[in-house]
Amino acid sequence: MLIERCKPLDPGAGRRQLWAQRVFCAALALLLILSEVFSSNIQSTLPELSHLARLALTGGAVALLAGKILLLTDYQTRWQPVLAALVLLYTAFAAQYGDDVWFFLAALVGLAAKDIDLRGALRVYLTAAVAGLVFVQLLHFATPLMPYNFYCRNWDFGYGHYNGFGARLVGVCFAWAWLRHDRLRWFDWLGLAALGLFTYKVPGSRGAAGAMAVLLVLFAVQRFLPRLFDNKIWYALAMALPVGLAAFSLYAGYVYNPEWPYERMALLLLSIFLSGRFEIWHNVFWGADLSLLGGLPTDGDEHNAIDNVFLAIPMNKGYLGAVLVAAFFLLLLWRLAKHRHATEVLCLVALTLYLFMENKPFLLSANPFLLLAPCVFFAGRHMPAEESLPVVCRRT
């Protein structure tokens, strides 16, 4: 830690860890307030206040996370701070070039999560996320400050789009299930099932509800057959899943003919089941001019919105970003599998299926598994398999 070199400022090992935890958790809370509250429809009714709040929350979180990374992170080797600097430089450039500030914020969170008590951080995450959701719903239904913005077929619940609401709900589900996995009781199962049913029936966010259902089913099977998910075959399948979904997304969008889709009835029926996504993949992704650095919009109206991370990342981050993000995710899966952290692998399988239907990989309130980034950035290549990675759940 850099603060160790400043003897007058060094509070000692115990307090350094306490400060690091508090700084990190405070930054998490600020980012969740930013995402849950000030990324909602309140921006249209209180634009000046929202703009100032977004600047303050973003700036405060960046300052806290940067302070944690620079002053309160213990680096074991010389290359680790160099790697952190390179990651931040690239993500800052890519975020500015592609107009996606959450990409840079996700990197900050992932780097700052080194040596953090993830259980404590997840408790703060859940508290801030649930409080933000409840606050927005109260404003939305009880005041004119959070108006309904018509977009498509469902109510937007104050977020401009029903899938925006679903993204916040799935983040709560992921964090809740991940944190409580080793101690899941009947009320946890009931609450998680109710949250999934609510997400499916009320906002109608099918991608989020489907990911919740998959996670609960996997957890239920794991409880009765724990060894089923702790073997090389399952780990290989888990690593092959994102590769297979990426290949299928490229193929389906390429061969789907929106002018005469009946020539491939199987694809047509599957596209209808997935809300016409193949036509979007064909028109938006295959109609775009991809480049090394990307920069193309992947959110907005029907002319550029694309609900598939495997296609959105090459558009927005370019070929370079797609390769780097894919390498990061596959390396994370490989390291978790190598160290036999089966539950975290299950969580990432559910996340992968969610990202096949949506485009929120770097939004903290939809993806608490960004806290696993130290497994990639700071776990040594020759780290023994017996040594624990920074995870939450016990090995199966």
Tell me what the mean pLDDT of segment 353-360 comes to. Answer: 95
- The 10s digit of each residue's pLDDT in 233-273 is 999 999 999 999 999 999 999 999 998 999 889 999 999 98
202-360-339-217 Cα dihedral, nearest 10 degrees: 20
- The 10s digit of each residue's pLDDT in 30-42 is 999 999 999 999 9
Is 261 a domain residue?
no
Helix (H) or strand (E) holding 121: helix 118-142
Tell me what the mean pLDDT of segment 268-280 comes to. Answer: 90
**Cα–Cα dist 135/6, whole Å:** 42
Given a contact cutoff of 8 angstroms between Cβ atoms, the answer to whether 314 and 293 are in contact is no
For residue 199, give the nearest of 172, 158, 173, 166 by alpha carbon: 166
The larger pLDDT score, comparing residue 395 to residue 246, is at 246
pLDDT-derived band at 276, boundaries 50, 70, 90:
confident
Is 281 a domain residue?
no
Q: What is the domain range of residue 349? A: 2-247+302-377
Which pLDDT score, from 0 to 100, does residue 145 have? 87
**Cα–Cα dist 241/384, whole Å:** 26
Q: What is the pTM of this model?
A: 0.95
Return the structure tokens found at 111.
């780097």
pLDDT-derived band at 367, boundaries 50, 70, 90:
very high
Terminal-to-terminal C-alpha distance of the chain: 34
Tell me what the mean pLDDT of segment 298-302 comes to. Answer: 73
Is 274 a domain residue?
no
Number of domains in the chain: 1
Is 55 a domain residue?
yes
Is 43 a domain residue?
yes
- The 10s digit of each residue's pLDDT in 49-75 is 999 999 999 999 999 999 999 998 988
Which pLDDT score, from 0 to 100, does residue 374 have? 96
Is 242 a domain residue?
yes
| pLDDT exceeds cutoff 80 at 194 | yes
Is 370 a domain residue?
yes
| pLDDT exceeds cutoff 80 at 151 | no
| For helices 101-112 and 13-36, angle between their N-to-C axes, nearest 10 degrees | 160
Is 69 a domain residue?
yes
